[in-house]
Amino acid sequence: MTDQPVVTEREARAVAEQARQSEWTKDSFAKDLYLGQFRPDRIWPRPPDDLEGEARGEQFLADLSAHLREQVDGQRIETEDRISDEDLAGLIELGVFGIKIPTRYGGLGLSQVHYNRALMLLGTVHPSLGALISAHQSIGVPEPVKQFGNPEQKEQYLRRCAEGAISAFLLTEPDVGSDPARLQTSATRTPEGDYLLDGVKLWTTNGVLAELLVVMARVAPHADGKGGITAFVVEADAPGITVERRNSFMGLKGLENGLTRLHQVRVPAGAVIGREGQGLKIALTTLNTGRLSIPALCVAASKWSLKIAREWALERVQWGRPVGRHPAIAHQLAFMAATTYAQEAMVEIAGELSDSGAADIRIEAALAKLWCSEMAWQVADRLVQIRGGRGYETAASLAARGERAVPAEQVLRDLRINRIFEGSSEIMHLLIAREAVDAHLSVAGRLIDPDADLPAKADAARAAAGFYAGWLPRLVVGPGDSPTSYADLGPLAGHLRFVERTSRRLARSTFYGMARWQGGLEHKQGFLGRIVDIGAELFAMTSVCAHASRHGGGSGPGSPHALADAFCRQSRLRVAGLLRALWVNTDGADETLASDVLEGRYSWAEAGIIDASEGTGPWIADATPGPSARESAARRYR
């Protein structure tokens, strides 16, 4: 394997820091929440009525639903491991590949809320349909070009995408995942002003099908600029591009995900999105909204799981009554119902914030992705448990012996990737934690910066003293301490008071952690992860209260308020456990044990097994740049 240049931890952190969007020019509910400033007014008002847009969106969803029910067979996709050309043609005709592309470029110009709902419909027919559209429109060519492209790029590429030119996003490499400082794909400038791309890209969702690619490549410093990681729009059939294989996975059958090699691929200077060196910032900014696709698909899977669990728990009788009437199963049904509704609320609220244009949703979208992917997995796992042996049996096997073809095991397989896609849960914890402590780092960061000199530290100390003198006293008491606060927001006001009190406690805990560990806080990932998880629960509680208040219908059995109340009661118990675990945990002992495991001190615990994977290949395949020796596995669908 080619030698990778050594990138230090500090260098890698610097690259990530330069790429993040550092300014906060718009309101952020979640950012304030982590600072102990609970602002329900940021998400409570209904968005302004757009009757024409709402009507167009609802009509599209009705047309899409009818088409999917009548024309698309999810089980055929699962069996054939392929979305057929006919299915793709039908989606193109409906305009699915241009849902969010403005109408002036031939798209439907619909809202993020309607886009999320469309993904839910697609995902319940087969999740690979949702992944196809999400990879194309959320992180593929349309979103970065819409946000950062010049007028010529928008006219050319957005129109093509709306007409059905499928796109893919190529960032990951065989030895580069969430650490972009090690990215190896290069873009070499030519005397004519073009670029030659060389490298290997892994897990290119839609890459097998795509007509257009967004490729992240590193431009070397040159006389006219500093270079850096840059985003290019590349024609997928350009000479030098080879899809060397189509990858196969545990779930998401039908996913056209590949390994793509680029060798001396010439792209014009006009293919650069934004500017040289802006690639990672473009990718991260695109993901601010793009991350809402996965939670939308999680909502769909949870809703389906809840429906199947409810119907089965009434049908299956054991010991004289339906299994759902037994408390052990009832507890699981209650969790599934409450958690599914909360996921929907979070996605709807985040979508509305995105559509408003007045909010910075980078934290909200990340929280939705993290929380919904984790909770949907738990919902689906409970479905399999409730179904028992039938939950483990495939739909085809069930149908073959005359029973309803319920693919419970499939939904579990398909959901598992969502805890990894677009930032694993571990990475999301770190990303959100960085944003959550941004206000502290902006005033006190130089105090804990090992490279800061004494004058800089003195200036930082004065700034920090001024900030904390005004901030800390506001965390002592607040509206959550008054029994009448938020009464105007409905019968769930008690839960909102809990959120306000806990938000202040969370902010105090963050401050205590910074004071205790200072620069070492970034390595306290257990602590930071719990800080993030508490904020996620508080965001979910607020969202579900706001969502229920919009539905009305009283607060009795069967009402949205009753379901929201049940969720908040469950969530408060989780928050209590997380708050305690901030300071009472086994983190230190676990990290010591893990170090000893890595050193091989406990390899004796692995004895008595056979590892058939030994000798089958290296852990990471060779990705040396150069021409391909393989026939392309690319597929053309039109």
Catalytically active residues, by annotation = 422
Adjacent-strand bridge partners of 266 = 196
Q: How many residues does the chain have?
A: 638
Q: Which two tokens stand for residue 381?
A: 């796992």
State the Cα–Cα distance between residues 293 and 287, nearest whole angstrom: 10
> Could you tell me which of 30, 47, 48 has the C-alpha nearest to residue 39?
30
State the Cα–Cα distance between residues 299 and 312, nearest whole angstrom: 20
State the Cα–Cα distance between residues 340 and 130, nearest whole angstrom: 18
Q: Which two tokens stand for residue 38?
A: 């609970």
State the Cα–Cα distance between residues 302 and 418, nearest whole angstrom: 13
Residue 251 contacts residue 416 (beta carbons within 8 Å) = yes
State the Cα–Cα distance between residues 368 and 428, nearest whole angstrom: 10
Q: Which two tokens stand for residue 227?
A: 């270079």
Indicate the angle between helix axes 560-581 and 327-356, nearest 10 degrees. 90
> Could you tell me which of 405, 404, 403, 407 has the C-alpha nearest to residue 380?
407
Q: b or e along 544-555 (b: 16 or more beta carbons within 10 Å of the residue's beta carbon)?
A: bbbbbbeeeeee
Q: Is the dihedral of CA 485, 489, 495, 499 positive or negative?
A: negative
Q: How many CA atoms lie within 13 A of 357 on its CB side?
A: 3
Q: Which residues contact 233 (CB under 8 A, 6 or more apart)?
A: 141, 145, 153, 157, 212, 213, 214, 267, 271, 273
Q: Which residues contact 246 (CB under 8 A, 6 or more apart)?
A: 208, 256, 257, 258, 633
Strand pairing category for 321-322 and 186-189 = unpaired
CB atoms within 10 A of CB 435: 21
Tell me the Cα Rg of the chain: 25
Residue 503 contacts residue 36 (beta carbons within 8 Å) = yes
Q: Show the DSSP H helices in 417-491 as ranges.
A: 425-436, 438-444, 454-471
State the Cα–Cα distance between residues 90 and 133, nearest whole angstrom: 13
Burial status of residue 244 (CB atoms within 10 A of its CB: 0-12, 13-18, 19 or more) = middle
Q: Is the dihedral of CA 105, 107, 113, 116 positive or negative?
A: negative
Adjacent-strand bridge partners of 262 = 199, 241
State the Cα–Cα distance between residues 626 and 376, nearest whole angstrom: 42
State the Cα–Cα distance between residues 114 and 110, nearest whole angstrom: 6
3 state SS of 272: strand
CB atoms within 10 A of CB 616: 7
Residue type, 602: Y
